Chain A
Amino acid sequence: MNLFESTRVAMLALAANKLRSALTMLGIIIGVSAVIALMSIGRGVEKFFVDQFTSLGTNLLYVFPGQLSEGPPSERGRERGVLTLADSHAINNPLRVPDVIAVAPQVSGNALIARAGNDMDVSVSGVTASYQDALSGEAAIGSFITDADVEERSRVVVIGSDVFGRLFEPYEDPIDQTIRVNNILFRVIGVMEERGAGVGGANLDEMIFIPLTTVQDRLFRLRTVSGEYQVSLIYASVISEDRMEAAQQQITDLLRERHNIAFRGEDDFVVINQSDLLAIFGDILSAMTLFLSAIAFISLVVGGIGIMNIMLVSVTERTREIGLRKAVGAKRRNVLSQFLIEAVTLALIGGLLGIVLGAGGAVAATSFVDNFSAVVGLDAIAIAILFSMAVGLFFGIYPAYRASRLNPIDALRYE
């Protein structure tokens, strides 16, 4: 009897017991769909980050205060390492840092903004006029912050496109309207074009931009002991991608000098580029993937034990059938392969249903989130199929072996 015939026999036996077959598959269906859903969402997260970073341009350097290993950026630079507006100006000196063409310091925080009964939590970016040059964003309506605004510490604000949507009616002209930021009145001078991207997953469209000096003096009041303006981040736009390393070195040398760091001392800042950032997120994601794989493994084992359990019940229940098959000439290997194929088929069908369910679920769940959708990878599907077959094979062997060893006389007499 060839594989085709064995498969046909197994299929017929499964079809003869549809309900039991369905119940057997349940464990695998749940396991595989959970795995596929989690993996697809994980992939979606990954893609989201990559998209966001690369949309900012690939020749951008980020200078953070403190060390990367020291925890979240907001806590960094308090004791060790502070970046100031003066540092930013220094990097902007083409004589010291020739490969950088634009520098944008930024101070970030959160604030509640309000206008005419609408309010909204937003991230506030305190920036200078050069922000536009470094990150290449344009104001769609009105204008961006100017050097004069920074100089005069004006209470002016440029809002993201989503913020405009929340605070204004579409037909309204926002220019010269006032909004409250943490209860302080600001004049709107521009609305940014839609961007959708930002560092660390923040949505640029949900941000507001205020002159850096205004933010420091009126909103967050961050100054160093010597009264200098502190910044959370400096963007440096490099002349071309192949000068990235040179620029990184130039900035590092400059800042070490400015911060009086001894020859063997550690940097109190970090200069990183897009790919460094992506690598860091890649590490986080692979940790997540490992965790998901563990869940996947456990659920598949649970599903496999379910299959083994039901297959054992099935062997007992079909003892007479096995006895009869043997009486009419089935050899051990015929019975073995029939039950093995049944188990693998159940696992495989369960796996396929799980894939459909998991992928559908993930896509449906993420369809409600803006700028983010699950990515169902072919590799995830292939792995799910392979794994469910392997589970069926592994957990089907013992019941199939038991069936194949049944003595036909005892089996035929079995009540």
Chain B
Amino acid sequence: MFKRFSDSDNPSPNGSDPPAGAHPVIEALELTKVYTMGDMQVHALRGVDLTIGFGEMVAVMGPSGSGKSTLMNIIGCLDVPTTGLYRLDGADVGILDDNSLAEIRSLKIGFVFQSFNLLPRTTAQANVELPLLYAGISGRDRHQRAAQALHLVGLDDRRDHKPNELSGGQQQRVAIARALINQPKLILADEPTGNLDTKTSDEIMDLLQRLNREQGITIVFVTHDPEIAEYCSRVIHFRDGRIERDERASPEIDSAPSSQVLESLPFDRP
């Protein structure tokens, strides 16, 4: 299904937003992360160089404890590296404070978690609206956009359901709708199918792939399942806090989103 690319090919198929080759979404240089617990030091990352371009869909694999989640947290601006440089969408985020990081998360990143992390006793609609609340979007817009996002993940008829009234796959779809709602540049998913069965996992991956192809959203996710990694044009293998291998594949059919598709987005990009 995929053919391997060489590293020199331009990894960004997205020609319109921003200008191709201007800068990648993710640009990391020599990232290290050291956790200090008492007098023990855990080197979770030991120097990671990574560049991910717009519109890529990347899987991160590797044994448990190899530093995948640590990397995702730094990429997602939830944490800062001990040393090294990290640029998100061209901006150096290593120098930012808590509030600025929160703002970047709000504007540029959507998260999907292994355990869904929906607010309990709260409807799907309200859960999806949550990021817009902190982005300062007015009530009517929030409502409309959340409805569109739920439509996009195929949950039109589950808007008023609470998490405990939804299946695992449906909950993860709500979480994906929530990640989508701010039209992020980047969706990060740490083991999004980790709590789902094979069939549901495939449905979720189909959805993510569709978003990547049709909306041009860059997606990075962690998985332990090689079959899930098959959905990606690129697989990064982690070991002991380092990138062991970076495999690129090119889909036989050109899946790059055209500007046509971008214009048909349900909402305007900022």
Please give the residue numbers on chain A whose beta carbons come within 8 Å of chain B beta carbons, in ascending order: 1, 5, 9, 12, 16-17, 320-321, 323-334, 408-409, 412
- Given the contacts A329-B131, A332-B98, A409-B78, A324 and B126 also touching, CB distance less than 8 Å: no
Residues of B near A17 (CB, < 8 A) are 121
Interface pair B120/A327, CB less than 8 Å apart: no
The residue from A1, A16, A323 contacting B134, defined by CB atoms under 8 A apart: A1
Interface pair A329/B103, CB less than 8 Å apart: yes
CA distance A325 to B117 in the complex (A): 10
The residue from B103, B130, B135, B182 contacting A325, defined by CB atoms under 8 A apart: B130
Residue among B103, B122, B134 with most chain A CB within 10 A: B134
> Does chain A have a CB within 8 A of B183?
no
| Across the A-B interface, the 9 shortest Cβ-Cβ residue pairs | A329-B106, A329-B134, A328-B131, A16-B121, A331-B102, A324-B117, A330-B134, A331-B99, A408-B78
Residues of A near B76 (CB, < 8 A) are 327
Residues of B near A330 (CB, < 8 A) are 102, 134
Residues of B near A331 (CB, < 8 A) are 98-99, 102-103, 134
Residues of A near B122 (CB, < 8 A) are 12, 16
CA distance A324 to B99 in the complex (A): 15
CA distance A223 to B120 in the complex (A): 85
Interface pair B120/A16, CB less than 8 Å apart: yes
Residues of B near A408 (CB, < 8 A) are 78
Interface pair B78/A327, CB less than 8 Å apart: yes
- Given the contacts A1-B134, A12-B126, A329 and B105 also touching, CB distance less than 8 Å: yes
CA distance A155 to B120 in the complex (A): 85
> Does chain A have a CB within 8 A of B231?
no
Residue of A nearest to B139 (CB): A5
Residues of B near A1 (CB, < 8 A) are 133-134, 136
CA distance A329 to B131 in the complex (A): 6
Pairs A–B under 8 Å by Cβ, sample size 15: A1-B136, A16-B119, A320-B117, A324-B130, A325-B134, A326-B102, A327-B78, A328-B111, A329-B103, A329-B107, A330-B134, A332-B98, A333-B99, A409-B73, A409-B78
> Does chain A have a CB within 8 A of B79?
yes
> Does chain A have a CB within 8 A of B234?
no
Residues of A near B78 (CB, < 8 A) are 327, 408-409, 412
CA distance A371 to B182 in the complex (A): 68
Interface pair A328/B119, CB less than 8 Å apart: no
Residues of B near A332 (CB, < 8 A) are 98-99, 102
- Given the contacts A409-B73, A412-B113, A9 and B133 also touching, CB distance less than 8 Å: yes
CA distance A329 to B100 in the complex (A): 10
> Does chain A have a CB within 8 A of B213?
no
Residues of A near B113 (CB, < 8 A) are 412
Residues of A near B131 (CB, < 8 A) are 328-329
CA distance A233 to B102 in the complex (A): 80
Interface pair A409/B133, CB less than 8 Å apart: no
Residue of B nearest to A330 (CB): B134
Residues of A near B133 (CB, < 8 A) are 1, 5, 9
Chain B contact residue count (CB 8 A cutoff): 27
> Does chain A have a CB within 8 A of B173?
no
Q: Mark contacts of B113-129 with chain A using CB atoms, 8 A cut-off: 1 yes-contact digit, 0 otherwise.
A: 10001011110001000
Residue among B102, B119, B121 with most chain A CB within 10 A: B102
Residues of A near B130 (CB, < 8 A) are 324-325, 328
Instruction: Give residues 91-111 of B contacting A (CB, 8 Å).
Output: 98-99, 102-103, 105-107, 111
CA distance A109 to B97 in the complex (A): 82
CA distance A144 to B182 in the complex (A): 92
CA distance A133 to B89 in the complex (A): 99
Would you give the shortest CB distance from A334 to chain B, in whole angstroms? 6
Residues of B near A409 (CB, < 8 A) are 73, 78-79
The residue from A5, A321, A326 contacting B119, defined by CB atoms under 8 A apart: A321
> Does chain A have a CB within 8 A of B242?
no
Residue of B nearest to A2 (CB): B136
> Does chain A have a CB within 8 A of B178?
yes
Interface pair B135/A329, CB less than 8 Å apart: yes
Would you give the shortest CB distance from B154 to chain A, in whole angstroms? 21
The residue from A9, A327, A333, A334 contacting B105, defined by CB atoms under 8 A apart: A327
CA distance A284 to B106 in the complex (A): 62
CA distance A409 to B190 in the complex (A): 12
Would you give the shortest CB distance from A351 to chain B, in whole angstroms? 26
Residues of A near B98 (CB, < 8 A) are 331-332
- Given the contacts A409-B78, A412-B113, A328 and B120 also touching, CB distance less than 8 Å: no
Residues of B near A12 (CB, < 8 A) are 122, 126
Q: Mark contacts of B38-80 with chain A using CB atoms, 8 A cut-off: 1 yes-contact digit, 0 otherwise.
A: 0000000000000000000000000000000000010010110
Would you give the shortest CB distance from B61 to chain A, in whole angstroms? 21
Would you give the shortest CB distance from B140 to chain A, in whole angstroms? 13
CA distance A327 to B178 in the complex (A): 12
Interface pair A327/B119, CB less than 8 Å apart: no
Would you give the shortest CB distance from A272 to chain B, in whole angstroms? 67
Residues of B near A328 (CB, < 8 A) are 105-106, 111, 130-131, 134, 178
Residues of B near A325 (CB, < 8 A) are 130, 134
Residue of A nearest to B122 (CB): A16
Interface pair A324/B119, CB less than 8 Å apart: yes
Interface pair A327/B103, CB less than 8 Å apart: no
Residues of B near A412 (CB, < 8 A) are 78, 113, 117
Interface pair A329/B126, CB less than 8 Å apart: no
Would you give the shortest CB distance from B263 to chain A, in whole angstroms? 26
CA distance A329 to B103 in the complex (A): 6
The residue from A9, A327, A333 contacting B111, defined by CB atoms under 8 A apart: A327
CA distance A329 to B122 in the complex (A): 18
CA distance A247 to B117 in the complex (A): 85
Residues of A near B99 (CB, < 8 A) are 331-333
Would you give the shortest CB distance from A258 to chain B, in whole angstroms? 85
CA distance A334 to B103 in the complex (A): 12
Residue of B nearest to A321 (CB): B119
Residues of A near B182 (CB, < 8 A) are 329
CA distance A329 to B99 in the complex (A): 9
Residue among A9, A332, A409 with most chain B CB within 10 A: A409
Residue of B nearest to A9 (CB): B133
CA distance A334 to B136 in the complex (A): 11
CA distance A325 to B122 in the complex (A): 13
